[in-house]
Amino acid sequence: MFNTPIKIGKYETRSRVFFAPLAGYTNYPFRLLCKGYGAGLCFTEMVSAKGLKFGSENTKELLYTTEKEGLTAVQIFGSDPEIMRAACESEDLAAFPIVDINMGCPVPKIYKNGEGSALLENPLLAEKIVSECVKSGKAITVKFRIGIDEEHLITEEFAKRMAGAGASLLTVHGRTKDKVYAGEVNTSEIAKAVQAVDIPVIANGGVFSRADGEKLLRDTGAAGVMVARAALFDPQIFTEFSGIKRESKRVMFEKQLQETRALFDERFTTVFMRKMAAFYVKGERGAAAYKERLFAAQSPEEILSIVAEIWE
């Protein structure tokens, strides 16, 4: 069911289970970890097209990848079609054959700037962005929500517009913008998108296990599913779909820390891996006390010594 490829333009994914772009988390080492457990396609953190235009170093840092990672998608956001196309054509994105356009981010500063989920209210501009980006020669995908709120559901029409503008794949988050990441996933709306277009549709929202993924596929008829927050607590969730054998949490953590340390400085590695360890210890006996110690840790070695007590 899950271990067959999906075609995105002329490219094929490893499986039908994707790992969502998560701001502040889906850096190269974390994507590499999840891909190793069976994620079929991973996405970079959300990257500003304007940031690329003006040469922001912070923006460019989000784009690190290597051939080791294999097929990977970059996610960009913006509201100016020409700037978005320029980003697709830039040397900064040369390593990414697939460009995903964010049209679902609910963060207020993004929305107020006319970007992310604000584009749900401006379908003509959204169409123009996609059609311009397609001219870059990249495979263009779009991730969007079902509407701003329950009174303004736009899934079917928006999906048709994005496909008509040349998108190769759509990911539909089955919640409205006002729900952020809470509440039930509206599977009937995702199903409308599936039925409305002849390109693959990925269902996003509420996948915390293989059973969740199977139900989402049954209820929507989607080509695949996207895992998001669940991977923050358990990157090995992808093994449930891939059949790859699970490793101990300690081995997993040490692998991630090593890759993170190889790419980033000690300070970033310490702060980032403290944060990841806090996710991973959820549900463990004495988790609150361990988290307190983790957030006080001042080096990767100190973090490792703490997790060694938890996961022997």
Active site residues: 105
- Give the Cα separation of 216 and 261 in Å (integer): 37
* C-alpha–C-alpha distance, residues 289 and 281, integer Å: 10
Which residue in this structure is represented by tokens 């991977």? 231
- In the numeric block, which tokens belong to residue 73? 């998608």
Q: Distance of CA 233 to CAs 95, 225, 276, Å?
A: 29, 18, 8
Q: How many CB atoms lie within 10 A of CB 121?
A: 15
Using alpha carbons, select from 276, 306, 304, 275 the residue that is nearest to residue 289: 306
Q: What is the C-alpha separation between 130 and 134, in angstroms, rounded?
A: 6
